[in-house]
Amino acid sequence: MILLIDNCSLLQLVNSQGYGKFLLDLTDHINNGNITLITHELLIEEWDKHKLKDKTRKEKILRKKLGTTDDAAQGTTQALERIDVIHLDKQIAQIDELLKKAEVLRTPQVITNEFSDRYRRRLAPFHKKLDGQNDWEIIGTACIYCEQYNRAQLYFISSNYSDFADPGQPLNKIHDDLQGRFQKVKINYFQLFADFFQELNFSIDRHNLIPGNITKNEKFSFKSSMKKNVLDSLYYLFHDLYAEISFIPVHLLKNYYPFRESENIHPYYSLFALYEINSKLITLFEQIKIDTTHNDYKIVNHAYFNGVENHKEKLDFVLQKLTNNLIFNLEGNLRDNFSRVKVYYAKQEFCTCAKCSYSRFDFMSVLKRLEVAPKNLDEKFKHAYIQYQLKNYKATYNLLLEIRDEAYVSKKYIQYFISQHNLSHLGVFLSSPFYGRMMSDQDKKSLKLIDPIEECVKLKSLTDYDLLHYIAKGDFFSWAFQDISNATEQIVQHYRSQLLGGWSSNNFVWKLIESFTNLEFFIGNNFIMYEHYSNFDELFNFVTKGILASHAMNLEQEGAYREFDNTWIKKFIFYGSTKTILKYFGKFELRQLKYDKKSPGINFIDLAKNLLNNKRGFQKEFEKVADEDNDFLGTTLDKYVENLITMAGLIELENKDVNQFANILLRFIKANHIDHITQNAITQFVARKSSAFTQRLLTKYITLYNGSKLKGNTVLAFLLSNLTEKPAEIIIPDMVAGCLDRNKKGNEPIDYELLFQLHKMADADERISISNMINQHLESHFNMRLYHVSVISEFIPFDEKMLFKRLSKIDTTRKNPTNRLFFKEKDYRNVDLDALINICFKFNINTRTKRFQKFSEKHDYYKWLLNMDQFDYNHFDIDWPSSYRTFYYFREMAKSKNLISHFIDYMETNSNPLLQDTFVKINMHKNRPK
């Protein structure tokens, strides 16, 4: 269990009368692995600050007690000298040692960001006092830690009852404000150590002492795996002992013969290879030669296999199993001169089962396969897993019930346990209000009663307890999460180092890839239902960050991930988040993702064909068989589409592939409803790749977006910018009219980049038409930004009377809107007035006349801006020149000798990059020809 102890309770562990029982018990449980202690940097600081003060206080209590005895009355000095406080020192030292071993947490940004809102709304721990920032950071950080590492419960001890609990609730209940914020983590709050240890002892009796009294199944032992020859031993492991699952965790597999020669040897796994392997196993694979080019192998020493029945079939079977268990190489030890053999053997066979069809986005084939009733347990498991992926939870539930009963009767206890584990996790989804109507309350209650730990204990003597315990405790995920987050941190550090000229050779990115692939294979190939948890999404965010950071390194770095293959392109589409992908693509300053389209697996274009060409047809068919509240189409499928289109814009594609994908996408846009999320992905793709479109394809896209209700002004701007000549189908005045009309009717923002492109392409007559249309639009639906852009860009002729009319209507009380709570805003500015002054500066309108007097009185900023040379610079703010950065503002500033002089004086004693840039831009106009 995960335990957090507040500083006030840490101090209470130090018993003034003698060595405290609770401290002894706590130390034992931590050393025995029953408790994982976490703490916070702030708690360490508080402990170091208060431990000696607390010791002094407790010493005084002891002296006071001793001073009231008869002995003390006879000689106070001698009595005080006899006081022994070594037990206080030892207890403090013991707590110091526990804190050194603890996981020390730092406050994540999300907790810091939430502080102001909780403080303002007086949410716990601010409900009783206002100085609870440390309390919030400590409990909030601990809960975030549990969420990240898939820990469902946090045990928290604090005598600070008023801050963390609600006086109106039971004694040991965390405040609802805190539990409500962290719904993924059950916070078990205790005010007293006695209550905590009572709960702890119950938990230990339940989870540890009971299984300790049950003997493990001897079949799953080193001795049982020793057969008459090495090949038969391997075959027995994969074909018989673990026949119920397809992927065996390597930390269990390596403990059997023939991977290790004896129980005293401990092979280890790293980068898809096993090391310190039994020499006899090395010898076995030295008798064959694997041809990875043709996905075949041949025996080079047939005599070695004399006496081994069906050795060809067995070799083929174990080679595939080793590869499918992500063991690609085997290496011996020092005695064998570290002999190394390659055992990677991937037979490329096209599989049409529901699971493989799903992985190719061939959803129509998936539905066809699901129509055929499964014949055995393995097929039922596969169907249940795909129904789970499709979010048909009711169908999944019914299949899992069948699997559970059949597996138990058939004594397939691993499959029985996985079905129970899946049912318990399915209960989480089905208990939510969204999916709650799928099942009766009685069925939901029965799912809640399934406890994987208890199931694990019941089956200890019947099957592999270590495997079941690994699943039940969620170690398969938490171990992977820790490995991946650590590898990502190392990759990012390497990335930052190489920016500064550093060089390193490491395998962190391959460690990340190995950890995630092992997790993916373990849950996917064994049909363990887990991917729908948000924790899995968070884990892949770390994967995304690490892969992109490694890919962004220069090629001289040995740890760089040099190019994406088909496998990892597909993973980014399946598991990724467009927001996260774009975030780190930008953060690590990537221009594109190098892509090897000839790598094994379905290539990107074929993947796009399967998903985009068949989406509408699949949608219609799926609606016939989907559960009532199924949201697969609106969440998962739309996410796949968004990620696929996003990746199309980021990966390095040849021009012919860009055009092929763009044609697929064009058909998709015509056939489907395009929501704003999908449209954003399309815009990003067009922005990055339309320069490779053929002129004919550009015209098709322009015609589609111009003549439809799609919100595609930005798309049109990018498309038009790549046209080398104007096709007859494109009538520029009509496009301008459409742009303005969509703004008038649908309140769609005007895309000014589109207007720039259209105006740029227009001939003289068309520009007159554009000017007339904009003026008509301004008369009926005045828009200050449209007016400003049109005058500055000379879409319409400058009319001084119109300018003065707009100036007369300026509301001087209006301020810039702000949503920022803690930062000073430049709210003295008026955006409409700024735009009109920009027009004045462009056309050299005198701003020192009476017409502008009321604006000068609004704020000193406008008093300065409208008459820079006559302004009293004792009231000047050096930030003003940088607040509205336009060509004409800088040109006007360059005319003011007083401003230039003041700037120079300031820059001599101050350094500010933004001001320096502003000063450079102003100076550019000083010697510019008029």
Q: Answer for the pair 716, 750: CB distance below 8 angstroms, yes or no.
A: no
DSSP assigned state of 851:
G
Place of tokens 């171990």: 479
Q: Mean pLDDT, to the nearest integer, of 521-545?
A: 91
Helices 732-746, 752-761: crossing angle, 10 deg rounding: 160
Q: Is pLDDT of 809 > 80?
A: yes
Answer whether residue 28 shows pLDDT above 60: yes
Band of residue 525 on the pLDDT scale cut at 50, 70, 90: very high
The reported pLDDT for the residue numbered 212 is: 47
Greater model confidence, 59 or 341: 341
Rounded Cα distance, 638 and 111, in Å: 31
Phi, psi for residue 38 in degrees, rounded to 5: -120, 155
CATH 3.40.50 fits 2-66+83-200, yes or no: yes
pLDDT at 161 over 80: no
Task: Give dist(CA 856, CA 669) in Å, integer.
Answer: 53
Say if residue 207's pLDDT is above 60: no
Q: Left, alpha or beta for 561 (phi > 0: left; psi -120 to 50: alpha)? A: beta
Residue 593, beta-bridge partner list: 651
Tally of CB atoms within 10 A around 462: 17
Q: Say if residue 897's pLDDT is above 50.
A: yes
Confidence of residue 215 (pLDDT cuts 50, 70, 90): low
- pLDDT of res. 172: 74
- CA–chain centroid gap for 158, Å, is 32
pLDDT tens digits for 810-850?
887 765 554 433 334 456 788 999 999 999 999 999 999 99
Burial of 561 (0-12, 13-18, 19+ CB in 10 A): buried
- Measured between alpha carbons, how far is 640 from 361 in angstroms, rounded to an integer? 9
Mean pLDDT: which of 129-138, 718-727, 741-750, 790-799 is highest? 790-799
**Winning range, highest mean pLDDT, from 119-123, 255-259, 263-267, 815-819:** 255-259
**Strands (E) located in 292-391:** 296-299, 329-331, 340-342
- What are the tokens at 562? 């040099």
Give CA–CA dist 281/229, Å, rounded: 10
pLDDT value for 80: 41
Secondary structure (DSSP) of 35-85 = -EEEEEHHHHHHHHHHHHHHHHHHHHHHHHHHHTSHHHHH-HHHHHHT---
Amino acid found at 394: K
Higher per-residue pLDDT: 657 or 394? 657
Average pLDDT value for the chain: 86
C-alpha dist (Å) from residue 847 to 446, 815, 862, 867: 79, 21, 10, 7
| β partners of residue 298 | 289
Least confident of 331-340, 374-383, 435-444: 435-444
User: In sequence order, what are the residues at sequence separation of 6 or more whose Cβ sits closer than 8 angstroms to the Cβ of residue 36?
Assistant: 1, 2, 3, 30, 103
In the prediction, which pLDDT does 725 show?
A: 83
- Of 85-89, 96-100, 781-785, 912-916, minimum mean pLDDT range: 85-89
- Name the region of 265 (left: φ>0; alpha: ψ -120 to 50; beta: rest): beta
Q: Which two tokens stand for residue 325?
A: 């268990």
Q: For the chain, give the percent of residues with pLDDT over 90.
A: 54
* Cβ contact 250:269 at 8 Å: yes
Band the pLDDT of 86: cuts 50, 70, 90. Answer: confident
Pairing of strands 153-157, 103-105: unpaired
pLDDT at 32 over 80: no
Residue 187, SS3?
strand
| pLDDT confidence of residue 16 | 76
Strands 153-157 vs 2-5: parallel, antiparallel or unpaired: parallel
Q: Is omega for the bond preceding 125 within 30 degrees of 0, making it cis?
A: yes
Backbone CA torsion sign across 814, 817, 818, 824: negative
The C-alpha atoms of residue 786 and residue 782 are separated, in whole angstroms, by 8
Which residues are registered as beta bridge partners of 273? 270, 329
Q: Residue 397 has which token pair?
A: 């539930």
Amino acid at 43: L
279-286 average pLDDT score: 92
DSSP letter (8 states) at residue 149: T
Q: Is the confidence at residue 465, as pLDDT, over 60? A: yes
| Domains of the chain, residue spans | 2-66+83-200, 221-342, 354-466, 474-555, 798-924
What pLDDT band is residue 81 in, cutting at 50, 70 and 90?
very low
d(CA 664, CA 682): 12
Q: How many residues does the chain have?
A: 930
3-state secondary structure 512-536: HHHHHHHHHHHHHHCCCCCCCCHHH
Handedness of CA 223, 227, 229, 230 (dihedral sign): negative
Integer Cα distance of 388 and 219 in angstroms: 33
Residue pair 727/699 in contact by the 8 Å Cβ criterion: yes
Mean pLDDT calculated for residue range 694-712: 83
8 Å CB contact between 710 and 704: yes
DSSP 699: H
